[in-house]
Structure 1
Amino acid sequence: MNVLVLLPLTEAQRATLESGAPDADYTYATKLDVTDEQIAAAEVIVGNLDPARLPAARSLRLLQLNSAGYDKYSAPGTVPEGAALTCAVGAYGQAVSEHMFAMILAMMKHLDGYRDDGRGHLWTDRGQVTTFAGAQVLVLGAGDIGTHFAKLAGSFGAHVTGVRRRVGEVPEGFDAIRSMDDLPELLPAADVVISFLPSSPATRGLADAAFFARCKPGSYFANGGRGDLVVQADLIAALESGQIAGAALDVTTPEPLPADDPLWDAPNIFITPHVAGQFHLPAVLTNIAAITADNLARLQAGEPLRNLVEL
């Protein structure tokens, strides 16, 4: 089996990945320098190859993405016929949850404001702060990332409710799970609302003026999922009115966010440029290598693949 890997793995991470199929032939390249010949020879490609280059993958059996999202690959005909598509759900829970938790906690303690004041050489007192202890936290999306976030918030003494399409069992870290249909009645009680929802017709524009109007006055809103969840003009209005005390965003629409976009200048907003995940935390690539090893072993054994995307 010919495996083409497009990820910047360490030697240890390569060993983890290759343990899934020790007898396979491995080629390591980058997404910029990979050749059409390498793509054509690959039976497995590991990494988010530009979809425009996939027609060259004539031998492809499996495309293992390095991302949890797969929007760019889900359109009919994008992945070559007969090839399976798997994503990296389970790789980013620690990285994204810690990043978003830190952003919210920084806003609760006004650390973002004090950093700005310090750069202006200002000795200020920004007044009362808030805490996760005893807070009602609403997590939209109770998958891997949402569960990691719930554990962090719970360790600080928060009461955490998860929201997802189907209720089912309550994952570790959550105090309760509710359905998306319950969202209107849950928003008014939440001190923190954070979303890790994927992009879908049901989620695009969900966080609009009506959404923010239902939120508890003075609550915090955060988005670590997809930027198109939020109607950004409505978020700006909610921040300007004080309905929302602060917003922490790692995703926006569009990305990159233009320098003249009014979202930058909204009051009490903390924006990072979609960097919560990616490969900034080394554990992410280690996790992806382990997921890939599992799928290589499953592919060779003819077993169901992990994180299979139904095309």
Structure 2
Amino acid sequence: MKILGAMPFTDDDKKYLENIAKDCEFVYKNKESVGEDDVQDIDIILGNVSPDVISRAPKLRWLQTNSAGVDVYCKDGILRQDTLLTSASGAYDTTVSEWMVSVCFMLARKEDLYMRNQVEKLWKHEGKVVSIEDSVTLVLGLGSIGKHYAKKMHALGSYVIGVTKNRHSEKPDFVDELSTVENLDELLPRADYVAMVLPGTAENVHIIDAERLKLMKPTAFIINAGRGNAIDGVALNAALRNGSIGGAALDVTDPEPLPETDPLWDAPRCIITPHIAGQFYLKKTFENIVKITGENLEKYLSGDIEGMRNKVDHKKGY
């Protein structure tokens, strides 16, 4: 069996994986440099190789991504239905949830305004602020990252409402209310923070549109760390400029990179980061990914497919 490693594995990582799969042949390449010729005899790919290249891998049995989101691999014609797909869900919980909490503090304390004032060398007060304590946080998408964020906001004194696609049988202790997407219009007017960590599925495209932005409090903040197209960018720009919401923090945009001409760049109270909440900037994140990959590799080779982590339903996209 031949395995292509397309993550930035260290020498120690490679030894760890090769010790698990002693009878397998390993090939390592940078994911950007992997071409069609490189995947013709590959059985397993570890890493986010281009979907176009993946679609041209005739022997591929299993793809383990280094990302939590895998929707690009679930499109028609990319993977055969019998090809196993697993994600790195859970690896990014700390880094993304901490980014989300950090921008909540920034917006609450108007740190974005003070940072702009510093650039302009302005000693200027920006007025009253708000607190996370005693706020209401609406979390759209209560997956692994969403739960970690919810737990942090609850610990800070916020009343947390979790929103899922389907009703869960158990409510986590750190979630004060659990609801479903069908109740979103009734929930939005209650929220001080609307935090989004939704997967990139068709039903989530523009789930926050002009009409739903109008339902939000004029003091409410919207946070997006899921998929950029979950928010209608044109409508968000309008809402920020007319003051119908309090502010926004976006680590994801539609499109990416956000064009220089996009008005969101200088929209009032809009914090934009270039999809860096995740990535591998926090050392722990990639260590988590390697651990997930190794555990899945061991189970796959032993035939314990059922025991593998983060198996993805091709049709659902998660």
Indicate the TM-score class for this superposition, using the shorter chain for normalisation: over 0.9
Question: Structure 1 residues 59, 201: CA separation in 2 closer, same or farther (over 3 Å shift)?
Answer: closer
The answer to which of 298-307 and 151-160 deviates more is 298-307
- Match in the other structure for 1:25: 25
Letter in 2 for 1:254: P
- Match in the other structure for 1:182: 183
1-structure distance, mates of 2:295, 2:20 = 6
Letter in 1 for 2:167: V
The answer to which of 54-63 and 220-229 deviates more is 54-63
Q: Does 2:269 match 1:264?
A: no
Question: Structure 1 residues 232, 37: CA separation in 2 closer, same or farther (over 3 Å shift)?
Answer: closer
Cα deviation, residue 45, structure 1: 0.5
Cα deviation, residue 136, structure 1: 0.6
The answer to which of 174-183 and 189-198 deviates more is 174-183
- TM-score, normalised on structure 2? 0.91
Count of aligned pairs between the two proteins? 311
1:277-292 → structure 2 map (5 Å cutoff): 277-292=278-293
The answer to which of 154-163 and 21-30 deviates more is 21-30
Cα deviation, residue 193, structure 1: 0.6
Match of 1:308 among 292, 307, 311: 311
Question: Structure 1 residues 55, 187: CA separation in 2 closer, same or farther (over 3 Å shift)?
Answer: closer
Q: Does 2:254 match 1:253?
A: yes
Question: Structure 1 residues 260, 27: CA separation in 2 closer, same or farther (over 3 Å shift)?
Answer: same
- TM-score, normalised on structure 1? 0.93
CA contact (8 A) 2:136 2:190 kept: yes
Query: SS in structure 2 opposite 1:267?
Result: coil
1:96-115 → structure 2 map (5 Å cutoff): 96-115=96-115
String of CA shifts for 1:30-74, please: whole Å, max 9, x gaps.
113346554233221101111222254233211111111122211
Query: SS in structure 2 opposite 1:68?
Result: coil
Identity fraction in percent: 39
The answer to which of 214-223 and 35-44 deviates more is 35-44
Cα deviation, residue 247, structure 1: 0.5
Letter in 1 for 2:256: E
1-structure distance, mates of 2:14, 2:73 = 25
The answer to which of 151-160 and 165-174 deviates more is 165-174
2-structure distance, mates of 1:36, 1:179 = 43
Unaligned runs of 5+ residues in structure 2 are none
CA contact (8 A) 2:229 2:254 kept: yes
Question: Structure 1 residues 85, 130: CA separation in 2 closer, same or farther (over 3 Å shift)?
Answer: same
1:28-43 → structure 2 map (5 Å cutoff): 28-34=28-34, 36=36, 38-43=38-43
Query: SS in structure 2 opposite 1:122?
Result: coil
Cα deviation, residue 239, structure 1: 1.4
- Match in the other structure for 2:241: 240
2-structure distance, mates of 1:6, 1:37 = 15
Unaligned runs of 5+ residues in structure 1 are none
2-structure distance, mates of 1:139, 1:43 = 38
Question: Structure 1 residues 153, 18: CA separation in 2 closer, same or farther (over 3 Å shift)?
Answer: farther
Question: Structure 1 residues 19, 241: CA separation in 2 closer, same or farther (over 3 Å shift)?
Answer: farther
Structure 1 runs (4+) deviating above 6 angstroms are none
2-structure distance, mates of 1:20, 1:140 = 38
CA contact (8 A) 1:20 1:295 kept: no
CA contact (8 A) 1:13 1:285 kept: no
CA contact (8 A) 1:222 1:249 kept: yes
Question: Structure 1 residues 290, 127: CA separation in 2 closer, same or farther (over 3 Å shift)?
Answer: same
User: Aligned Cα RMSD in Å?
Assistant: 1.9
